[in-house]
Chain A
Amino acid sequence: MFLVSEDFVASTHGGLGCITCHGGENAMDKAVAHNEMDPYPSRNFQDNCGTCHADVAGVYETSIHYNLHGMANGLLEFTDYTQLSDSPHHEEVFDNDCFKCHATCGDCHVSRPKNFSNGLVDQHTFLGTPSMEENCYACHNARNAGEYMGLVGFGGDVHYDMGMTCMDCHPTSNFHGTGEVGEDMWAEELPSCLDCHEDKDPAVATDVNHRVHGDSLSCQVCHAQANNNCFECHLDEKADGSGLASSSEMKIMFRVGYNPNPTEERPYKYVALRHVPGQESMLEVVGEDMMPNYDEKTNWKYSPTHNIQKSTFQNESCASCHENTRIWLKMDDLRETDSKANESLIPALPPSLDH
């Protein structure tokens, strides 16, 4: 049972009355009062939240926080299917495991996500700007948000130390959607370091490091710390039979390799990498031959690691990077369960300082 503050009851949202959004009946008998009550009214956000917030509700279905297109398309990449509905087995995986990260309005603006610890953030007060600790971290804990806050990896992010939150860099459209359906998060208008650090653009930079490296290295190669990597993910039935759950080995590492997917926005030759969970047999609990294209996709991915520092062990000197064989991805890093495609990311490095 959740405690609602009297301040909330007196607020604009509180003035609507609980039953307006949650349903149920105005009765002193507990069973009657909770009859057909919906604890998560924002699952029907068009009819509830959208009555007043039509601008957001009108586009939210295009948000990857809502539709999880990044996860769906990532799963489909391993198959020859073009949509999940073509394969009941893949649809089962998505619905019973991936989709637990699906978020609606209340998961960010009122309560903690159901999958994290649930419960109200602040006695039902509606937060216009979600709490980084209670909301963003709740889902993005093992990687970007955890790294940013110094809870995963070597240390936190200098921007976090300066008091910045996720929303100081990420525009609202990254959460609410734009009305355009994107394939994954890379289709979003993501923040760039150069948005603030314009003087580090290699075209105008006055320091030799940014002029020489800026076009070929992502910012994280020099300024990120070690990140959290997941290996050999496996999907199993939950012990209570209530669905599927995945588990994997986690390891703090720092690896640099070739860019798996150079684009106009991120054309860099070398990038910081992160191993994402996966192995060819990971979905066998659901069906056979679930990932026929497994060896065509890399497990090591472009990592926008969120634990930036101005000074890192790899940018201390030229030699700390160029002569440091431990930070470059190499054959020894690849596991038997890894995709063969990872071999294309192993650079012929470290580059000599002689040229």
Chain B
Amino acid sequence: MSKPKILDKWVTSLVLVAVVGVAALGIYQFGIKPGLPEETYAPINGEEAGEDKPFAFDSIDSSSCVACHTNESVIAASTWGQDKPVAENTGG
């Protein structure tokens, strides 16, 4: 039985081995063991969700809030709060 011609060149052989290896690893990760490694967080008060766990909700677009509340000229022109009481001496 004669050797396939494609294996005559050693560079071609190396590429073939690499392709087969990557394919095998891919089948293992996505087929046999799907998913990423599970994240772990420091437990606090017995809860699994520690302080470093990302918050559970997505941020909500607040572009309209920022449009006014970062605009100093809008703030300056506002009459909001003028009818609110000023500071009290709390006596504390």
Name A's B-contacting residues (CB within 8 A). Answer: 1-6, 9, 15-20, 22, 24-28, 30, 33, 51-55, 58-59, 100-101, 113, 115-118, 138-143, 230, 246-248, 277
> Which one of B2-10, B18-26, B72-80 contacts A?
B72-80
Q: How many A-B residue pairs have CB under 8 A?
A: 106
Given A33-B65, A246-B91, CB of A20 within 8 Å of CB of B57: yes
Q: Could you say which interface size class chain B belongs to? A: 35 or more
Q: How far is the CB of A132 from chain B (nearest CB, A)?
A: 14
Given A19-B62, A26-B65, CB of A3 within 8 Å of CB of B75: yes
* Contact indicator B56/A54 (Cβ below 8 Å): no
Q: Which residue of A lies closest to B44 (CB)?
A: A55
* Contact indicator A1/B78 (Cβ below 8 Å): yes
* Contact indicator A139/B92 (Cβ below 8 Å): yes
* Contact indicator A19/B70 (Cβ below 8 Å): no
Measured CA separation A17–B57 after assembly (Å): 11
* Contact indicator A19/B65 (Cβ below 8 Å): yes
Those of B51-85 within 8 Å (CB) of chain A: 51, 53, 55-57, 59-70, 72, 74-75, 78, 80-81, 84
Contacts of A27 in B (CB 8 A): 64
* Contact indicator B92/A24 (Cβ below 8 Å): no
Given A2-B69, A3-B75, CB of A101 within 8 Å of CB of B63: no
- Residue from A26, A117, A230, A248 in contact with B63 in the complex, judged by beta carbons closer than 8 Å: A26
Q: How far is the CB of B69 from chain A (nearest CB, A)?
A: 4
* Contact indicator B61/A17 (Cβ below 8 Å): yes
Q: How far is the CB of B56 from chain A (nearest CB, A)?
A: 6
Contacts of A3 in B (CB 8 A): 69-70, 72, 75
Top 9 A-B residue pairs of the complex, sorted by shortest distance between their CB atoms: A117-B87, A18-B62, A17-B59, A17-B62, A18-B65, A1-B78, A1-B80, A19-B60, A55-B44
Can you name 23 A-B pairs with beta carbons within 8 Å? A1-B69, A1-B74, A2-B69, A2-B75, A3-B69, A3-B70, A4-B66, A4-B69, A4-B70, A15-B59, A19-B61, A20-B57, A26-B62, A33-B65, A52-B55, A53-B51, A54-B47, A58-B45, A58-B47, A59-B45, A100-B90, A101-B92, A141-B89
Contacts of B78 in A (CB 8 A): 1
Q: Which residue of B lies closest to A242 (CB)?
A: B85
Given A18-B65, A18-B66, A26-B64, CB of A116 within 8 Å of CB of B44: no
Contacts of A2 in B (CB 8 A): 69, 75
Q: How far is the CB of A278 from chain B (nearest CB, A)?
A: 12
Greatest chain B CB density within 10 A among A30, A52, A230 is at A52
